[in-house]
Amino acid sequence: MGDFRAYARGDREPLISMIREFFEHHRSLAGREDPMEAEEAESILQRWLDRSENELLVYIDSAQPVGFVRLRKEAGVCWLEDMAVSSQRRGRGYGRQMMEALGVHLQERGQNSIYAPVMPANIRALEFYVECGFTILNMVELRKDLDGDVSSGHLCRSGGNFRLEWEACPQKTR
């Protein structure tokens, strides 16, 4: 089993590759297939490093970076903003190992909980986090496209540890 360490300069190239994979996946969830250029990934990494509220941890196994997490701490609350495993290592249990190591890392630093914002369309991530012990709360992120297309749909919800269903209707043009 690997462990986390703080980002180091030698992690730059592997992290840029993982950042590109991470954001290309999120773009595909939003219906975009455009690749991310290395320069854009480098810029994102630099922004993360420049923000004092961020903590960038690299997951190391056999002396190799295999994943990362970006944490944001604000007003005593810890947010798991981004988490990725290198595409060459996916499906081998690294994500679960990372979550276990992250829990230990945070508890050693006095944190007793962590929040993770997830796109509703990212079903695999939602299932993963629930399997790792996260509880779905009540956060839903919405977006309105301002390009003239209007989509409508129907929303159903239940209470408790809720069920949320969205049925999208065909897009209309104004």
Q: What is the pLDDT of residues 21-43, one digit of tens each?
A: 989 988 887 788 888 899 999 99
Residue 174 has pLDDT above 50, yes or no: no
Single out the residue of 21, 1, 11, 14 nearest to residue 94, CA to CA. 1
Burial code of 90-127, b = ≥16 C-beta within 10 A, e = fewer? eeeebbebbbebbeebbeeeebeebebebeeeeeebbe
Quick one: pLDDT band at residue 128, thresholds 50, 70, 90?
very high
Cα(126)–Cα(18) distance, integer angstroms: 20
Averaged over 78-85, what is the pLDDT?
Answer: 94
Cα(34)–Cα(40) distance, integer angstroms: 12
Residue 165 has pLDDT above 90, yes or no: no
Please check whether residue 56 is in contact with residue 67, taking contact to mean a CB–CB distance below 8 angstroms. Answer: no
What domains, with CATH codes, occur in the chain? Answer: 3-137 (3.40.630.30)
Cα(138)–Cα(94) distance, integer angstroms: 28
Q: How many CA atoms lie within 13 A of 158 on its CB side?
A: 6
Residue 94 has pLDDT above 60, yes or no: yes
Quick one: pLDDT band at residue 102, thresholds 50, 70, 90?
very high
Please check whether residue 2 is in contact with residue 58, taking contact to mean a CB–CB distance below 8 angstroms. Answer: no
Quick one: pLDDT band at residue 123, thresholds 50, 70, 90?
confident
Report DSSP letters for 40-90, one per residue. Answer: HHHHHHHHHHH-TTEEEEEEEETTEEEEEEEEEEETTEEEEEEEEE-TTTT
Q: If you average pLDDT over every residue of the chain, what do you get?
A: 84
Higher pLDDT: 69 or 162? It is: 69
Which helix (H) or strand (E) element contains residue 168? strand 164-168
Higher pLDDT: 58 or 35? It is: 58
Residue 57's pLDDT is: 96
Residue 124's pLDDT is: 87
Residue 173's pLDDT is: 46
Weakest-pLDDT range from 35-39, 102-106, 120-124? 120-124
- For residue range 142-160, what is the model confidence (pLDDT) as tens digits? 666 677 655 556 555 555 5
